[in-house]
Amino acid sequence: MKPKEITVNDRMQQGYCYLLSKPTGRCFHPDFSPERTPQQMLQMGVFGGKYMTDCRQEFPESWFRSAKLSPSHADFELNYFKVRASKPLSYWIEKGWIWDQDPRGWFQWYCRYYMGRRSEDDLRQIKRWKGMTRHIAQLKKHCCKGDLRCRPIQRQALLHWAYDSRNI
């Protein structure tokens, strides 16, 4: 595959360039097996619909055809589990979890990774993704299988990290 250069010019990044060096949706690190694609996540309802509203030109138009988006403000009714399950960006910055190449955080990293970008941040982000399995353990411990009303905030948080808790 011939690498393709992407240049980003949106509200949070100006002139940021990266290369797509892997086929879309393939050649993932062996420790990284997300259960939902970015498109599926956007269609199901994540981040109150606000997350990807000003950077759509960077990603395939198909991702946004049925996406639940709210350009003016986060609307947590758009989330799959109808709850708020995320902290503000300022919290993530304060924790040191946001790096300059992906100023929107993990989901931006995942979208770019899914599209074929590979970077020096991949192992750190994959480690963070794997850390979310603690919420799966909590669901298994405290919820009856298939009870989607049990722990909806944890379920929504898992969806934000490409885990699908509907079968837990």
Per-residue burial over 94-115, b = 16 or more CB atoms within 10 Å of its CB, e = otherwise: eeeebeebbbbbbbbbbbbbbb
30/122 Cα distance (integer angstroms):
12
Asked whether residue 128 is domain-assigned, the answer is yes
Asked whether residue 138 is domain-assigned, the answer is no
The tens digit of pLDDT for each residue in 24-77 reads 999 999 999 999 999 999 999 999 999 888 999 999 999 999 999 999 999 999
pLDDT value of residue 51: 85
Name 156's Cβ contacts closer than 8 Å, sequence gap at least 6: 46, 79, 80, 81, 83, 85
- In this prediction, residues 125-149 reach a mean pLDDT of 97
15/102 Cα distance (integer angstroms):
13
Asked whether residue 82 is domain-assigned, the answer is yes
Q: What is the DSSP string of 11-29?
A: SS-EEEEEEE-S-TT-S--
Asked whether residue 118 is domain-assigned, the answer is yes
Asked whether residue 140 is domain-assigned, the answer is no
The tens digit of pLDDT for each residue in 81-135 reads 999 998 888 999 999 999 999 999 999 999 999 999 999 999 999 999 999 999 9
Asked whether residue 143 is domain-assigned, the answer is no
Asked whether residue 142 is domain-assigned, the answer is no
**Helix (H) or strand (E) run with residue 93 in it:** helix 89-94
Number of domains the chain is built from: 1
Domain ranges, residue 11: 4-132
Asked whether residue 101 is domain-assigned, the answer is yes
